[in-house]
Structures are given as structure tokens and as C-alpha cells.
Chains A and B, each alone.
Chain A
Amino acid sequence: MTPTAPAAVTPAVAARTPARVRPPLVRPTEGRVAGGVAVGLAAHLGVSLTLVRVGLVLLTVLGGGAGILLYVWLWALVPTSEHVPTVADAVDPATGRDPLPRNASPASVAGPSGPPGGPARRPARPRVSQARLGDILLGGLLLFAGLSIAGARFGWDVNAGLLVPVVVVLGGAVLAYSQLDEVERSRWAERSGVQTRAAVLRIVGGLVLVLVGVLLVVVRGGDPAYAGRVLVAVLTVLGGAGLVLAPWGLRLWRDLDTERSARVREAERADIAAHLHDSVLQTLALIQRSAADPAQVARLARAQERDLRDWLYGARPEDAATMLAAAVRQVTADVEDRFGVAVEVVVVGDRQLDERTAVLVAALREACVNAVRHAGAPVTVYVESGPDGVEAFVRDRGPGFDPDAVPADRLGVRESIVGRMQRHRGSATIRSLTGDGTEVRLDMPDERPDADRPDPGSTGAADPAVPQTQEAPR
């Protein structure tokens, strides 16, 4: 390991200065013997492959297995690649930015400088430079520790009692610092008061705890207290690590949360946009085109209004096949669309559609058609589903007519309304009040097993005076 990047240079500047471009450190799959580490290292350092291999072997033999350790470490941390990297790979063609942080620690290479198309971290410029600074410090510390240990082997007297705490403190500081990316740091710096102080306190506290814990482990005192001290030390180290890692975890969680809610919002917005586009915008375009035809405009506007209401207030048009209220709304909507006359619908209660209520809905449709054709707006439809059956009223404000005077060949009223209802043991009555319009009343009482109820087939039944206290035998 040869530290090349001078730590004094501002990392951002170093990153942009293509002084000497190296190919990224990867493990190529081609030409490898074992893990591809030696091949990659050779390409990265620009030395011969044989030299690297010999160096590794020498390190293993003379350095007490250090070569194997290094190999395994690189194998674990360096990403793989299809081919042996070249200098061209070092410069990202998309941005022109050098994706490879050239520094002492190969650990950083595994991160931001993945091979093109590899699992790249998000390209946050400040992060790269900071991660780099941290890595440089970390690498320096490791180098320092290694040299000290090596020195101690060769007889230099290194004061371990002093060295280790210093190394630990520095390492902790680097860790804590590298946890915060620039955005976070500047955000904390902008805020005044408690929050910033709390953050600083947290980091400093964490570092102190780490230090204390490590010192407790290192400075082994008398035996009796040893076990207890180790326990305290472990707890302290864990607590310190938790404190130091807390902001990072918090940030990760918050980012995730923000992203998730943003995704939900985005999906909602897309849903609304799609609906508005498919319906409202189309209708508005149609309306502009048919501006000369007021009836058409009114029809379009009314249909669109209904559609939008269904959507906004959660009506489920797909229920029209199974539920009474939805079926009634659909039928009246059809009539509105066909004749361009507004039909106001009020439905009280709801129930499953069965054969007989479907008949009632069909008769209701005929009554509506009749009303809009002969009377025009406003037409009011009222449907009530009660415990004893279904009642429906269609009211218009037309001139009114005498039902008995309707010619026999007019199938509309006689057959499709009255006859249809009677065939299914329901009833239909038509009341025409001259000047006050016409009201068609449709009645479809539930059929009961007990026979002591009046024949529902007779017209004009279901007087409101029928005792309501009667318990429905259901």
C-alpha cells in the first residue's frame, strides 16, 4: 500500500485534477488465477503482473502471512469486472468526472468508483470527497498502526499505552465525521441552539465512550475486577457505537420515509392526472368543438360532472350489476346521456339486486325515459329500499296526462312499466296532476312465506299507513 494522494490537498480539487489517471481497481474475470486480485492490482498500479504476484508471495512468506491477508481483504472489497480495466474506464464518459478516488485505502474503491454499469452509489459529489477524506485518514491511521507494530517487532520501543488511545480517538473521529455528508453537516451548522449542540454532544459523547471502553480493555488491572471491567467495557463500547451510529441510522430512516411518501404522492398525482386527462380534458375538448350546440354541451357537461362525482365521492359504478343503488344511478345516467335532460336521483338504503328488483330498475328506466321525453327537466327519482321491499318514484313537472287516455298502442307506459311490474308481483301507479306534473310510483314488495299479507299484485298498495311496528320475519 502506497499512499499517493497528499492529504493536505483539498479532496474536491484532487478529484478534479487528472494528474495521473489510473484505471479503476477491479477484479477482472479474464486472466485471473484465483480471485483476480493480482491482475486488477497490476493494472491499477501500472506494474507488471509478475511483480505483484511475487510481492504478494514475499509478503506472505516474510510478513507472517500478511500477503494472504491483503489478498483476502482486497478480494472481499474490490468489485469484479468483465475485463481488465484501462485508463479510459477511469474517466466516466457521461460526466467527464474521474470516478476513481486515488488514495491510499483500497476500501474506498469498492464504493463510489464501481465499474461502469456496476452497482454505483448515488453520485453525490460532496459525499465522494468526504468519504475520501475519511478514507485517507483511516488509511493513514492503519498505516501508522501497522508501522508501529512492525517497528515494535524490530525493537523500536513504541509506547502502546499512548499509541492505542490516540489511534482509537482518531479512528472514532473519522468515523463520526464520515457519517455525516455535507448536506447534513451544513444543515446542522445552519441550525442554532439545541439541535446542533445535541448533535455535537452526541458525537463527542460517543467518542468519549468508545475511548473509555477501549482503555478499560487495554489497561488490564487486577484480576478480581477484570471480568466486571470487561463487561462494563463492552457495554460502554456498544453504547458509544450506538450513539455514534444513531444520526446515521436516523438519516437513513428519514430518507427512506421521505422517499416512500414521495412515491405515494407521486402515484396519487399520476392517478389524478391520468383520470383528469382521460375524462375532463377530453370532455372540455369536445365541448369546445361543439360550442355551437347548447344541448350537446349541456349533455357533455352533465355526463362529465356525474363521472367526476362518482370518482370523487367513491361511488362504484362497477356495482351496477349487483347493487340496487348503483344500478339505479347507472340507468338514470344512461337516460341523461341519451336525452340531455338532468335527472336528480336520491336513493335511500341499498340492497343486492335480484330478479325482481332488476325488473323494478328496468321499469324505472322506462318511467324516466317517459318523463324526460314528455316533460323535460327537472325530473326527480327517489328510490327507497326498506325492510318490506323497494319503492321508486319518478316525478316530472310536465303538463301531466290522463293515463287512461293513453292509446292502447302506446306500449311505453302500459306494457313496459305497468305490465312488467305486475308480472313480477309488483305494482305501478301513475298519478297525473294537471299543471303539477306526473308521478310514477313503482312498488316491489318483498315476498314472504306467510300468506296473510295483502296481495301485492293489486295496484296502489303499500300505503304508508301499513303498521310499521310489524316485525319483519327475516
Chain B
Amino acid sequence: MSPGPLRLVIVDDHAMVRSGVRTELSSDPAIEVVAEAADVEQAVAAVHATRPDVVLLDVHLPGGTVRPGGSEVLQRCADLLAAQPADGGPSVRFLALSVSDAAEDVIAVIRAGARGYVTKTISGPDLASAVHRVAEGDAVFSPRLAGFVLDAFGTGAGEVAAVEDELDRLSQREREVMRLIARGYAYKEVAKELFISVKTVETHVSAVLRKLQLSSRYELTRWAADRRLL
């Protein structure tokens, strides 16, 4: 990560939301908003022009051809998503921000490469810490996203991976972590509850994110196929 404040791009089609987020994050001196964008084209251009550390990405964006618009931004910025982009610069991380309750929209942006998902009702400090966490390469799960994950992997119905790295199911530990997040626990509280370190919690969450992006589980692939992500 580059020294100095964390560089952030806000992508949302509502000017009110953009200014609201900007105001809420202004209390954190470690975050600098370098650009704003209101649609898919602007977002792709702004991200390539400014190379921010984190992009706060609205799931539903006007413009573009793929629905939801947020996943198209991710697809067209795919060259910057890799751990080490081809041009040698730092990689750009995306955090999805949405009011949507529709699981398929959220899953679509996660599968397209977003590192996390938070709802627009999130408080300012929570949003700031989520941005920092994503910038450090961790995944950010809201309780709602954790609920989606538990549902999508059939964990609620008792399906648990026998092997740790099985892609289509969550392991026992991952399930516990997801359940605690769904219950409203912060990572620190999850760590305390399970007697593990926060770092381990982050590892589990990142593993779940990877499964979410790579799994060929029917429910996930159906969502992805509907949105032509595969």
C-alpha cells in the first residue's frame, strides 16, 4: 500500500449518497476521496485514471450493458483487480455498497470481484473501518451478506464441507464465523467468541469470499449465469 492517506473513489448514481458518504468519511483523516463517478463509463474511466486503493461501488448503476451495473464496472476493471496488475501498479479493491436486498445482485458483484458488501445504512465509523479492511486485502461481510452465504451454501440445511478446501460447501469453522457475523458480531468479537485471533477470522472470511467467487455450486452458478458472469 502506498504511504499517505488511503485513496478512495466513490461510485454512486445519486449525488446525495455520494456527498453523504463523503461527509461521513471526512472525519477519518486517513481516507482521501480522489474521485466520484455516477455511471459505469465514468466509473471505469475514473478508476483507471486515479488508480485508487479502494473503490466504493454502488451495485445498481446506470449505463453499461450488464446488470447490475456494478458488476460491469468490475469486469471492465478486471485488469486492476489482480494481486499484481500487469502494469506493475498497486491493485485496486472494490467494496460494494447497496440498498438492495436482492441476493442475486449482491452475489453478482461479489463474484465479479468485489471484496465485500455493506448496506447504505452502515454507520460512518463502520464504513471507514470497512474501507480500511478492504484496502488491507481482507473481505468485509455484513450480517446480511453472511446470511446470503449461509443460505447459498446450504449451511443452514446442515451441509458442511468434509474437506477444508472444498469449494461448494463451507467448513465447520467457516460456518461458525459466518453465523457469528450474521448475528451482528464484529470480527474482534468473533475472534473472542471462538478463541482465535482476529487474523484467523480474517483468513476464514477471505476463504469464504474465495469460495463465493469460485464455487460452482448450483445456486451460485445460477445467479451468475443469469447475469452472464460465467
Contact = CB atoms under 8 A, between A and B. Distances in A.
A347 B148 CA distance: 9
| Best-surrounded residue of A313, A348, A349, A384 (most CB of chain B within 10 A) | A348
A342 B151 CA distance: 23
A313 B158 contact: no
B147 A346 contact: yes
Contact of A313 (B102, B147, B155): B102
Contact of B146 (A313, A342, A346, A439): A346
Contacts of B147: 346-348, 382
A344 B144 contact: yes
Interface in B176-200: 176, 179, 182-185, 189
Contact of B183 (A342, A385, A387, A395): A395
B201 interface: no
Contact of A395 (B144, B156, B172, B184): B184
B112 interface: no
Contacts of A348: 147, 150-151, 155-156, 182
B121 interface: yes
Interface residues of B, number: 22
B143 interface: yes
Interface string A339-369: 0001010111100000000000000000000
Contact of A386 (B144, B157, B183): B157
B158 A436 contact: no
A439 B192 CA distance: 15
Interface in B120-136: 121
B158 A386 contact: yes
Given A346-B144, A380-B143, A382-B143, A439 B157 contact: no
A380 B183 CA distance: 6
B92 interface: no
B179 A384 contact: yes
B103 to A, nearest CB: 9
Question: Which of the listed residues B160, B172, B182, B185 has the most CB atoms from chain A within 10 Å of its own CB?
Answer: B182
Contacts of A395: 183-185
A95 interface: no
Contacts of A439: 183
B32 to A, nearest CB: 28
A385 B156 contact: yes
A349 B156 contact: yes
Contacts of B156: 348-349, 384-386
A329 B151 CA distance: 17
A348 B146 CA distance: 10
Contacts of A382: 143, 147, 179, 182-184
A296 to B, nearest CB: 19
Contacts of B164: none
A346 B143 contact: yes
B24 interface: no
B101 interface: yes
Contact of A349 (B151, B160, B189): B151
28 contacts: A312-B101, A313-B101, A344-B143, A344-B144, A344-B184, A346-B144, A346-B146, A346-B182, A348-B150, A348-B151, A348-B155, A349-B151, A378-B184, A380-B143, A382-B182, A384-B179, A384-B182, A386-B157, A387-B157, A387-B158, A388-B158, A393-B183, A395-B184, A439-B183, A464-B172, A464-B176, A468-B160, A468-B172
Given A395-B184, A395-B185, 11 more contacts: A346-B143, A346-B144, A346-B182, A348-B155, A349-B157, A382-B179, A384-B150, A387-B157, A388-B158, A439-B183, A472-B158
